[in-house]
Amino acid sequence: MLTPLDDTLRHVLPTTFDHAYTSDPRFFDRYWFAIYDPAGTDLAINTGMCSYLNMNVIDGYAAVITGGRQHNVRVAGALRPQLFDSPAEVTSVGPLRAEVIEPFRRLRLSLDGGRDDGMAFDLEWTATLDPHEEDQHFSRVRGRVNQDYRRYNQSGRVNGWLELDGERTQLHDWWGGRDHSWGVRTDVAGGEPVTGPEEPRNGRTGFLWTWLIFGTEDAGGYVQLQELPDGSSIHSEGMIRWADGARIVSKEVSLDFDVLPGTRRFADATWTLHRASGPGAGDWKLRVRPISRSLSMLGLGYSMGYADGRGFGVWRGEEHVEHDVYDVSHDEDVVLPDGTVDRPYHRDCAVLVEVTAPDGTVSTGAGHAAILPTGDLPLRGLTT
């Protein structure tokens, strides 16, 4: 079916824009934003939105952590026909809206108020650095493609206001990290099919998944490291970029981290990016320390979240809005709305960042980090 996008010179496949290149129900296209005060205040904001062409679904979320409590709003609705009836630069679902004012430079994020959850915001994100494309993410499980997606990430600053339970907070040049990913990804549209025994990365053999995006006064960057129990990495990349276009790119990434006593939540961590030669040769140290309580991604809809436990990308009707509050005051335990105590695997965190160059120069800023160890990792001193 023809849509307004088909009346542009933007085609990259011999087909129309109303459907994806694959019929895989997990095909997705997602915005993600993390917004923190570089001064290190407790307040942390996360929001995002995603479309699923093969599920006719668009969904999104907003979460605010303050005072040890995580306030969640989750929304979902019908993708068609609004995806193609609306201007290409505007995406909305229920009260949540994202508008691209200037591609890769300025976006407006808003959540209308007037609901029982008491949350609303109107924020403008402005880029401080050009976007960085990660390496392609591709993997198979028993012959089936379970991941095939592209992602870019970018640092910026955020201005505007947030309202929670009648109290308004003005944001002035807060740090804002974003990513945009699309393709086929696990654990959406109803979860993964069972094709054999549980996969090792989720079992007792262990797996370490880590990710960092950050910004300082004059630079920003991204690091990802995925590690097996024997210490070998299956994905390793890091980048530091300056506003003038200079950058350090490294495939040699290592990580040291300490955990809070009796938990697997990190208390202090340092990524090292090694550059063998050329300008900036040597070791770049990125030390991070948590600002706020760790975000439980379950409350945003990740890890098969939502009240119905079905996760992202499933049909919940023409318009669906739900909200709840988690108690995240404990270092690792999360108290859910029904009083159940859970230890969700997927916890991300607002962090302060200290970047030390090979010559000893130090710059500081803020960022968003995930250090997620599972199973037995004896070289890390973590065993089940």
Predicted confidence (pLDDT) per residue in 225-241, tens digit = 999 998 898 889 999 99
- Kind and range of the H or E element at 85? helix 82-85
- Domain ranges for the chain: 19-380
How far CA 181 is from CA of 152, 221, 304, in Å, comes to 7, 17, 19
DSSP string, 140-167: EETTEEEEEEEEEEEEEEEEEEEEETTE
**Range from 95-104, 183-192, 201-210, 367-376 carrying the lowest mean pLDDT:** 201-210
pLDDT at position 203 is 44
Confidence band of 199 (pLDDT split at 50, 70, 90): low
Question: pLDDT tens digits for 173-192?
Answer: 999 999 999 999 988 888 88
Beta bridge partners of 62: 47, 73
For the chain, give the percent of residues with pLDDT over 70: 98
pLDDT higher than threshold 80 for residue 282: yes
In the numeric block, which tokens belong to residue 39? 């001064």
- Average pLDDT in the 279-296 region? 92
pLDDT at position 196 is 84
Residue for token digits 């201007």? 87
Confidence band of 201 (pLDDT split at 50, 70, 90): very low
Confidence band of 7 (pLDDT split at 50, 70, 90): confident
Q: Which residue has the higher pLDDT, 5 or 381?
A: 381
Contacts 24+ apart (CB under 8 A), 192-199: 192/146, 193/144, 195/141, 195/142, 195/144, 196/142, 199/141
Confidence band of 202 (pLDDT split at 50, 70, 90): very low
pLDDT at position 63 is 97
Question: pLDDT tens digits for 27-78?
Answer: 999 999 999 988 888 899 999 999 999 999 999 999 999 999 999 999 999 9
Q: How many CB atoms within 10 Å of residue 252?
A: 14
SS3 readout for 272-286: EEEECCCCCCEEEEE
Confidence band of 245 (pLDDT split at 50, 70, 90): confident
Question: pLDDT tens digits for 303-337?
Answer: 999 999 999 999 999 999 999 999 999 999 999 99
Question: pLDDT tens digits for 93-142?
Answer: 999 999 999 999 999 999 999 899 999 999 999 999 989 888 888 888 88
Q: How many CB atoms within 10 Å of residue 4?
A: 12
pLDDT higher than threshold 80 for residue 165: yes
Mean pLDDT of all residues in the chain?
Answer: 91
Question: CA 9, 11, 17, 21: dihedral to nearest 10 degrees?
Answer: 180
Q: Is the pTM of this model over 0.85?
A: yes
pLDDT higher than threshold 60 for residue 274: yes
pLDDT higher than threshold 50 for residue 291: yes
- Average pLDDT in the 151-167 region? 95
Query: Do 225 and 271 touch, CB atoms closer than 8 A?
Result: yes
pLDDT at position 323 is 97
In the numeric block, which tokens belong to residue 299? 């409350």
Superfamily of domain 19-380: AttH-like domain (2.40.370.10)
